[in-house]
Structure 1
């Protein structure tokens, strides 16, 4: 097996004698990059890390070219958690929150009451897909497990943990009947696989390497661990995209917006805090179809 790619990667594994597969994820640098963009309270940082881990696990198990978007919305102190992860394994995320309403020991239901979880796959080619379920569960792990039970009808279970420094996750999923044909034996094998995984403590998932985790859980099983696949934090914002957003307003509204703000329009990326500035000359250039390759200025 090749050396692990730094600190941010997913790693697939498969059971040779039963119809199940799994995926493990570790995120450190990309998680730190997301948290560095905003002063998130600890409970927000934890949920954001868990959602990042879930997105990475899903991209690791899905075959598509494009973008996976996870959004958790609610009517509570955290109205929005959002993660985007591309098939190129670039990941970014953000949260909206009201710090004064967040208690340190708040549960998921306290932080995100009446919440919904939306999973969107936006392929480079083909039709956009979205699935939505209620945020029913004590943890995000339970919510994702429920999503697959309700929308995919595929035996799937998630374990997600984050502590502000590292985000980790594990996914187990049933495969079509192959090794085990008998329905009762197949169901019992799946229950056994899940029961062993449920003995994994949060501190073990956060602190142990993948080989140790799998040996700890399945030392009596034949498990193959595949090469790791790296991920990285990367924001897809650009001056060009920001300019396109201005163009979508129309020339008159874009000019008025600049006039109202001292002659310049500021467009901030919510994910990475990059700021793009457009003055009257930039706006005229945009609407003349000349683009914005020579900006008057950008700054963070």
Structure 2
């Protein structure tokens, strides 16, 4: 059983390509210690899965970041992933107001999906912004993919507190010529997949169960990991950017300087002694 991987595949006689993703340990590490309500955790898990599916197409070193911004109880979801499928992410909002089993759209309200792509060789990051369309994360990203790639795309996502999974299928230009009913047949089979079944099976097992009659070429799986290393120097540089006078003023007012790294779920705290060490670091010149 392959876990924490993206599994690409191709229906050779139908000209339909796709990929499955299974996030196990990587998803649990990303969600650890965050105490999100169940509905918010599900949103973040599904968005983690689709981010990996799309980032698997990165051909050169780079980073792909998706932000869902809305005016609802959850006003921000951020996921980013690099070409090595190293993933990190977070959610933010008025989580105390989340109750029951609301849809993604009910949680997010009206808003936008923003993609930022920063890859090697690009003069500046590429950005794409689309309005939120659809009731769930899958529908929102299907709308985005159909606009951006202009190929019919189907996306299925599921997540709980242990696992996040996804399946993407895309109709290629020669699909109708090879089998005029092939795409519709695949869609009907995908309609039979429940979230519980999706979460219960490995990518390869799911392919065999859903498409036993299709000639399926399976490519090498690509590993996924949660990657959010401790980077105190980034925080130190930010404090130096504020300047010693500003930092001293905060320290005097608050008793300490507290910096929150939301995406890595990490806190940095500086008392007078720690702040002195930051500004006395080699290579830093006092002004």
TM-score (normalizing by structure 2): 0.89
User: Equivalent residues in 2 for 1:204-215 (5 A)?
Assistant: 204-215=197-208
3-state DSSP of counterpart to 1:44: helix
User: Equivalent residue for 2:154?
Assistant: 157
**Distance in 1, Cα, partners of 2:29 & 2:170:** 30
Q: CA deviation at 1:286?
A: 5.0
Task: Choose the corresponding residue for 2:143, options 122, 142, 146.
Answer: 146
Mind listing any 5+ residue stretches in structure 2 that lack a counterpart? none
3-state DSSP of counterpart to 1:227: coil
Contact 1:247 1:287 in 2 (8 A): no
User: Equivalent residue for 1:298?
Assistant: none
Task: Choose the corresponding residue for 1:281, options 269, 276, 279.
Answer: 276
Contact 1:15 1:223 in 2 (8 A): yes
Mean CA deviation greater in 271-280 or 139-148: 271-280
Task: Choose the corresponding residue for 1:265, options 236, 257, 266.
Answer: 257
Give the aligned CA root-mean-square deviation in angstroms: 2.3
Contact 1:109 1:138 in 2 (8 A): yes
Task: Choose the corresponding residue for 1:22, options 18, 22, 36.
Answer: 18
Contact 1:70 1:83 in 2 (8 A): yes
Contact 1:37 1:271 in 2 (8 A): no
**Distance in 2, Cα, partners of 1:116 & 1:22:** 26
Q: CA deviation at 1:151?
A: 2.7
User: Equivalent residues in 2 for 1:44-63 (5 A)?
Assistant: 44-63=40-59
Contact 1:31 1:165 in 2 (8 A): yes
Cα pair distance change 1:248/1:195, threshold 3 Å:
farther
User: Equivalent residue for 2:90?
Assistant: 94
Question: Is 1:38 aligned to 2:34, yes or no?
Answer: yes
Cα pair distance change 1:144/1:187, threshold 3 Å:
farther
Contact 1:23 1:61 in 2 (8 A): no
Deviations 1:124-159 (A, max 9, x none): 331311222222112111111111122331222211
**Distance in 2, Cα, partners of 1:280 & 1:41:** 36
Mean CA deviation greater in 73-82 or 235-244: 235-244
Contact 1:14 1:22 in 2 (8 A): yes
User: Equivalent residues in 2 for 1:39-188 (5 A)?
Assistant: 39-126=35-122, 127-177=124-174, 180=175, 182=177, 188=181
Deviations 1:226-260 (A, max 9, x none): 22211111104501111121233234323323333
**Distance in 2, Cα, partners of 1:286 & 1:118:** 37
Give the count of matched residue pairs: 282
3-state DSSP of counterpart to 2:56: helix
